[in-house]
Amino acid sequence: MQKRILGKSGLEVSAIGLGCMGMTFGFPPFPNRNEMIALIHKAVEMGVTFFDTAEVYGPFTNEELVGEALAPFRNEVVIATKFGFAPAEDGKWTGLNSRPEHIRQSIEGSLKRLKTDVIDLYYQHRVDLNVPIEEVAGVLKDLIQEGKVKHWGLSEAGAQTIRRAHAVQPVAALQSEYSLWHRKPEEEIIPTLEELGIGFVPFSPLGKGFLTGKIDENTQFDKNDFRNTVPRFTEENRKANQAMVDLLNTIATQKNATPAQIALAWLLVQKPWIVPIPGTTKLHRLEENLGAMNAELTADDLQQINEAASHIKVQGARYSEAGEKMTGR
């Protein structure tokens, strides 16, 4: 497994990580817990060292799963988790909360659930406009000095927020959505990260499954599936967005690869400090995703992809209106 370093942080991780959210949250029906522990163990065996979770996934159950699964390998892996939502016991979100006292409460809970005494990478899950980012960065600076956190990051933050946070305590990584069907980070975010030496961890690198080519306008999701609330996943928009999958299929055929592997390979060649974290609950998908490192894209391939993609207008917002309001702040 190839390794990458997230920006100037010195934090080394596998070139492709594993997003664990879908194992307990967002995309029901959820698999058997022991099967997911076995899958995480298999990922470690295959060289994955970077695992992503959050307290709000469940809430709490995802961290418990990841903590149990990775306990035997704790010194060999990097665990990233997130704070900043106020999860209620009934599984509902009660809004954003990055107040210092809440962050300190969150870290203690995460440490316990993850069965560890230090979080390798601790992200603010979404920017809380009620708490100055300098105040949040100050708390993380203290937690790093106290040895409870090694590195910290932001998720879906805007460029100015990133700069302000980084000035107080260097940010190791930004985790935001980035893929061939969401390229907005290229406008301002990626240049900012490059300037400051911050790593980039794209979530939903396969477009919440759409870029695998296994979803079309006829696909029926579980009634509680998060994608039912996403405008981009309406039947009409899925039909229109098939053009992007068709493009990936064309390149994949040329490369003897799959659309998912081309989508991930495309991300990997953008910058050497980009580390995507595709999620899956299936072993064959894990194997497929990790195989993206063998799908080498040449400059001509990239030109072909960019030229074709420039003529495809992706239809539909990537979040509901409420979700969109919490991004890019």
The predicted structure's pLDDT at residue 88 = 64
pLDDT tier at 16, thresholds 50, 70, 90: very high
**Average pLDDT rounded to a whole number, residues 2-6:** 98
**Average pLDDT rounded to a whole number, residues 23-28:** 94
**Average pLDDT rounded to a whole number, residues 159-166:** 98
Q: Which residue has the tokens 């919440």?
A: 208
pLDDT tier at 86, thresholds 50, 70, 90: confident
Cis peptide before 59 (omega within 30 of 0): yes
Q: Which residues of 174-210 are buried (b: 16+ CB within 10 A; e: fewer)?
A: bbbbbbbbbeebeeebbebbeebebbbbbbbbbbbbb
| H/E stretch holding 49 | none
**Average pLDDT rounded to a whole number, residues 91-104:** 88
The predicted structure's pLDDT at residue 195 = 98
- 57 assigned to active site: yes
The predicted structure's pLDDT at residue 39 = 98
pLDDT in tens, 38-62: 999 999 999 999 999 999 998 899 9
Q: Under 8 Å CB-to-CB from 205, ≥6 apart: which residues? A: 178, 179, 263, 264, 267, 276, 277, 278
The predicted structure's pLDDT at residue 90 = 64
pLDDT at 194 > cutoff 70 = yes
Domains of the chain: 3-206+270-296 (3.20.20.100)
Q: Average per-residue pLDDT in the chain?
A: 96
pLDDT in tens, 247-274: 999 999 999 999 999 999 999 999 999 9
pLDDT tier at 325, thresholds 50, 70, 90: confident
Q: Which residue has the tokens 């704790």?
A: 74
For residues 140 and 134, give the distance between their C-alpha atoms in angstroms, rounded to a whole number: 10
Q: Tell me the HSE value of 159 on the side-chain side, using a 13 A CA sphere.
A: 13
CB-CB contact of 266 with 180 (8 Å): yes
pLDDT in tens, 99-139: 999 999 999 999 999 999 999 999 999 999 999 999 999 99
Q: Under 8 Å CB-to-CB from 108, ≥6 apart: which residues? A: none
CB-CB contact of 258 with 270 (8 Å): no
The catalytically annotated residue of 57, 122, 123, 178 is 57
The predicted structure's pLDDT at residue 271 = 98
Q: Which residue has the tokens 């100055």?
A: 132
The predicted structure's pLDDT at residue 64 = 98
pLDDT at 279 > cutoff 90 = yes
What region, left, alpha or beta, does residue 209 occupy, with left being phi > 0 and alpha being psi -120 to 50 degrees? left
For residues 147 and 117, give the distance between their C-alpha atoms in angstroms, rounded to a whole number: 8
For residues 209 and 211, give the distance between their C-alpha atoms in angstroms, rounded to a whole number: 6
pLDDT tier at 87, thresholds 50, 70, 90: low
In degrees, rounded to 5, the angle at the alpha carbon of residue 107 between the alpha carbons of residues 104 and 111 is: 145
The length of the chain in residues reads 329
The predicted structure's pLDDT at residue 223 = 95
